[in-house]
Amino acid sequence: MKKVRRKIGKYEVGRTIGEGTFAKVKFARNSETGESVAIKVMAKTTILQHRMVEQIKREISIMKIVRHPNIVRLHEVLASQTKIYIILEFVMGGELYDKIVQLGKLSENESRHYFQQLIDAVDHCHRKGVYHRDLKPENLLLDAYGNLKVSDFGLSALTKQGADLLHTTCGTPNYVAPEVLSNRGYDGAAADVWSCGVILYVLMAGYLPFEEADLPTLYRRINAAEFVCPFWFSADTKSFIQKILDPNPKTRVKIEEIRKDPWFKKNYFPVKLGEDEQVNLDDVRAVFDDIEDQYVSERSEITEGGPLIMNAFEMIALSQGLNLSPLFDRHQDYVKRQTRFVSRKPAKVIISSIEAVAESMGLKVHSRNYKVRLEGVSANRVGQFAVVLEVFEVAPSLFMVDVRKATGDTFDYHKFYKNFCGKLGNIIWRPAGTMPNSNLRKQMTL
238 domain-assigned: yes
- What's the pLDDT tens digit per position in 382-395? 557 788 888 888 77
Q: Mean of the pLDDT values across residues 246-256?
A: 95
Binding site residues for ATP, as ranges? 40
Look at residue 106 in the predicted model and tell me its pLDDT.
Answer: 94
C-alpha count within 13 angstroms, C-beta hemisphere, residue 376: 19
Query: How far, in Å, CA of 393 to CA of 58, rounded?
Result: 39
Cβ atoms of residues 217 and 264 within 8 Å: no
CA 395 → CA 27, 186, 305, 331, distances in Å?
19, 55, 14, 22
Q: Mean of the pLDDT values across residues 251-263?
A: 95
Which range (79-93, 100-114, 370-384) has the least confidence?
A: 370-384
Q: Mean of the pLDDT values across residues 81-101?
A: 86
> Which residues, including other chains, have CB under 8 Å from residue 271's CB and lie 6 or more apart?
68, 69, 70, 117, 120
User: Of 371, 441, 438, nearest to 406 (Cα)?
Assistant: 371
For residues 376 and 417, state if they share a domain. yes
User: Of 288, 286, 298, 296, nearest to 7 (Cα)?
Assistant: 298
The yes-or-no verdict on residue 191 having pLDDT over 90 is yes
For residues 128 and 257, state if they share a domain. yes
User: What radius of gyration do the chain's Cα atoms show?
Assistant: 23
Binding site residues, as ranges? 40
- What's the pLDDT tens digit per position in 103-125? 889 999 999 999 999 999 999 99
Which pLDDT band, with edges at 50, 70 and 90, does 309 fall under? low
For residues 118 and 231, state if they share a domain. yes
For residues 336 and 436, state if they share a domain. yes
For residues 80 and 106, state if they share a domain. no
Domain boundary pick from 90, 107, 129? 90
For residues 320 and 435, state if they share a domain. yes
Which has more pLDDT, 443 or 223?
Answer: 223
The yes-or-no verdict on residue 441 having pLDDT over 50 is no
Query: How far, in Å, CA of 62 to CA of 5, rounded?
Result: 32
Q: What is the CATH number of the domain that holds 32?
A: 3.30.200.20
Q: What is the CATH number of the domain that holds 400?
A: 3.30.310.80
Look at residue 391 in the predicted model and tell me its pLDDT.
Answer: 87
Q: Mean of the pLDDT values across residues 299-316?
A: 55
270 domain-assigned: no
For residues 39 and 175, state if they share a domain. no
Cβ atoms of residues 61 and 281 within 8 Å: yes
For residues 67 and 131, state if they share a domain. no
Give the DSSP H/E element, type plus range, for residue 403: strand 398-407
For residues 188 and 125, state if they share a domain. yes
Domain boundary pick from 90, 108, 123? 90
The sign one gets for the Cα dihedral 313, 314, 315, 316 is positive
184 domain-assigned: yes
Q: What is the CATH number of the domain that holds 189?
A: 1.10.510.10
Q: Mean of the pLDDT values across residues 42-62?
A: 82
The number of residues in the chain equals 446
**Catalytic positions:** 134
Which pLDDT band, with edges at 50, 70 and 90, does 287 fall under? low
193 domain-assigned: yes
For residues 227 and 345, state if they share a domain. no
Average pLDDT, the chain: 79
Exposed, middle or buried: residue 73 (CB in 10 Å: 0-12, 13-18, 19+)?
middle
> DSSP string covering 7-49, please?
EETTEEEEEEEEE-SS-EEEEEEETTT--EEEEEEEEHHHHHH
For residues 258 and 333, state if they share a domain. no
DSSP one-letter code for 34: -
Look up the domain containing 233 and give its range.
96-265
290 domain-assigned: no
Number of domains in the chain: 3
Query: How far, in Å, CA of 36 to CA of 11, rounded?
Result: 9
For residues 60 and 178, state if they share a domain. no
Which pLDDT band, with edges at 50, 70 and 90, does 147 fall under? very high
